Amino acid sequence: MVFANTRLAAQNHFQALLPCLGRYAAARNQVGPGHKDVSRLSPAIRHRLVLEEEIVDTVLSKHRFSTVEKFLQEIHWRTYWKGWLELRPQVWRNYLERIAWLRTNSEESVLQRVHSVCNGQSGVAIMDRFARELISTGYLHNHARMWWAGFWVHVEKLPWELGADFFFRHLLDADPASNTLSWRWVAGLQTKGKTYLPRRSNLEKYCAPEWLEDTTGMENLEDNALSESSPTETASLNIQALPELPAVTIARNGRTGFWLHEDDCAVEIGALNALRPAGIIAFRPQPNGQSSGMSELRRLHLLRVLEDGCDRAARQFQCEVDFQDSTTLATRLAGWAAGKKLDEVVAYAPFVGPLGDHMSSIREALEARGITLTWVRRPWDAELFPFAKSGFFPFWSKVERRLLKSSKPDPQSQLL
């Protein structure tokens, strides 16, 4: 499988996909070679090579809402997860603390089993196939992700946080909110009373028959042999107020620079388009061991994504783009801004996650040099994040009303 790592490739892929979306709802749960029944756009959406609103507007310009509702819901799931975590950032911090604790305090036998299962050596053939697919391609069908996560939590009885970390290190579409909260859901923490068990009957219904020819270990997945694990909730779920961030910008006096980062690689589209930066900076993901342990496959994918974002920004703004190596993000960003004699650095606000963890240190480093830092939030996020206070379907009911009331999109905003 090849996944779009430039905006043009993502647009072309979506153009080919668009006529087929009428059958998405009926076919999306099928798991087989090539994953032809799902969009495979998630790596591009993750880094905003294409924007969610572009996809939604274009789909609704070509299909009736009722025909593509399930596809639209899947696009909005990512926004829902992001909004839910933005309202509860302490859940992310708790997850990181738990990973560190588990790596230090787990029994050696548990850590050895974690290693075996992650490397496709669990002894359950279909689950080992999925583990190897994830490592070799950076992707798994969402249904396979649920089966494998359920296997990890409820069959292997391993800590969900370490399984989530395995996914996050390898997935090309690795998203802090979607990944962490989906694993919490499988474990029964996200929605009380609901877990996800990898039942053999479900695999046999939706998985390609040739992938189930090796039945080694399938007895562990028999419907009547499964029992739920009950992980303990260790995070506070209290809602916190979203930071008030501007969704638009105005022309500035003085010298402004942009920071282009992996959470939003489309600085030339949207509010920042009105500004004229004196420079733009982005940072390369570092080799394994210096970048939170992401796989080399994921690192190289992200590197190309960022290169494409830099190329597009350079063409749009006709200014120098610095693409630097860095393991000290705040220090290097502040040093670059000072060297450019900037008065202000502007960026789309990183989301809660590894990049968002740097927000405070970046502000402190810039302010120490007398440089203003301005975070901008896209209108899509500003409008939808507050809807994510409870479950997805209350969120979706608000989104549905919004979509049904909206007028036809401006053709210039469409991907075709």
Which tens digit of pLDDT belongs to each residue from 46-70? 999 999 999 999 999 999 999 999 9
Which of 207, 225, 243 is where one domain is finished? Answer: 225
Whole-number average pLDDT of the chain? 94
**Do 311 and 201 share a domain, yes or no?**
no
Asked if residue 411 belongs to a domain, the reply is no
Per-residue model confidence (pLDDT) at position 292: 56
Asked if residue 348 belongs to a domain, the reply is yes
Residues 6+ apart with CB under 8 A from 26: none
Distance CA 141, CA 133 (A): 10
**Do 45 and 21 share a domain, yes or no?**
yes
Q: Please give the average per-residue pLDDT across 337-344, as a whole number.
A: 97
Distance CA 296, CA 294 (A): 7
Q: Please give the average per-residue pLDDT across 111-117, as a whole number.
A: 98
Q: What share of the chain is helix, strand, coil (3-state, %, to 5)?
A: 55, 5, 35
**Do 277 and 355 share a domain, yes or no?**
yes
Which tens digit of pLDDT belongs to each residue from 183-224? 999 999 999 889 999 999 999 999 999 999 999 999 999 999
Per-residue model confidence (pLDDT) at position 411: 44
The total number of structural domains that make up the chain: 3
Angle between helices 89-105 and 160-170 (to 10 degrees): 100
Has residue 373 got a pLDDT over 70? Answer: yes
Backbone angles phi, psi at 388, to 5 degrees: -95, 35
Has residue 119 got a pLDDT over 90? Answer: yes
Has residue 288 got a pLDDT over 60? Answer: no
**Do 359 and 260 share a domain, yes or no?**
yes
**Do 220 and 269 share a domain, yes or no?**
no
48-52, 271-275, 375-379: least confidently modelled range: 271-275
**Do 278 and 185 share a domain, yes or no?**
no
Has residue 283 got a pLDDT over 80? Answer: yes
Asked if residue 237 belongs to a domain, the reply is no
Residues 6+ apart with CB under 8 A from 313: 258, 260, 267, 268, 280, 321
**Do 40 and 146 share a domain, yes or no?**
no
Q: Please give the average per-residue pLDDT across 129-144, as a whole number.
A: 98
Per-residue model confidence (pLDDT) at position 408: 52
pLDDT band with cut points at 50, 70 and 90 for residue 412:
very low
**What is the per-residue DSSP string for 351-371?**
PTTTTGGGHHHHHHHHHTTT-
Per-residue model confidence (pLDDT) at position 193: 85
Asked if residue 21 belongs to a domain, the reply is yes
Has residue 89 got a pLDDT over 60? Answer: yes
Has residue 75 got a pLDDT over 80? Answer: yes
**Do 113 and 206 share a domain, yes or no?**
yes
Cβ neighbour number for residue 166 with a 10 Å cutoff: 24
Asked if residue 23 belongs to a domain, the reply is yes
**Do 213 and 295 share a domain, yes or no?**
no
**Do 213 and 269 share a domain, yes or no?**
no
Per-residue model confidence (pLDDT) at position 286: 82
**What is the per-residue DSSP string for 309-367?**
HHHHHHHHH-S-EEEEE-S-HHHHHHHHHHHTT-SEEEEEPPPTTTTGGGHHHHHHHHH
- Starting at the edge strand found earlier in the chain, the sheet holding 279-284 runs 321-325, 279-284, 256-259, 344-348, 372-376
**Do 148 and 220 share a domain, yes or no?**
yes
Per-residue model confidence (pLDDT) at position 409: 44
127: nearest Cα among 184, 166, 182, 169: 166
- CATH number assigned to the domain comprising residue 185: 1.10.579.10
Which tens digit of pLDDT belongs to each residue from 155-172? 999 999 999 999 999 999
Per-residue model confidence (pLDDT) at position 24: 95
- CATH number assigned to the domain comprising residue 327: 3.40.50.620
360-394: burial string, b at 16+ Cβ within 10 Å, e else:
eebbebbeeeebbbebbbbebbbbbbebbeeebee
105-109, 197-201, 225-229, 284-288: least confidently modelled range: 284-288
**Do 209 and 125 share a domain, yes or no?**
yes
Per-residue model confidence (pLDDT) at position 387: 98
Domain that includes residue 205, residue range: 107-225
Asked if residue 127 belongs to a domain, the reply is yes
Cβ neighbour number for residue 299 with a 10 Å cutoff: 16
* Pairing verdict, β 344-348 and 279-284: unpaired
Tokens of 253: 């006096």
Per-residue model confidence (pLDDT) at position 415: 52
Which tens digit of pLDDT belongs to each residue from 4-44? 999 999 999 999 999 999 999 999 999 999 999 999 999 99
CB 127 within 8 A of CB 151: yes
CB 268 within 8 A of CB 308: no
Asked if residue 187 belongs to a domain, the reply is yes
What do you get for the CA distance between the two ends of the chain, in Å?
A: 23
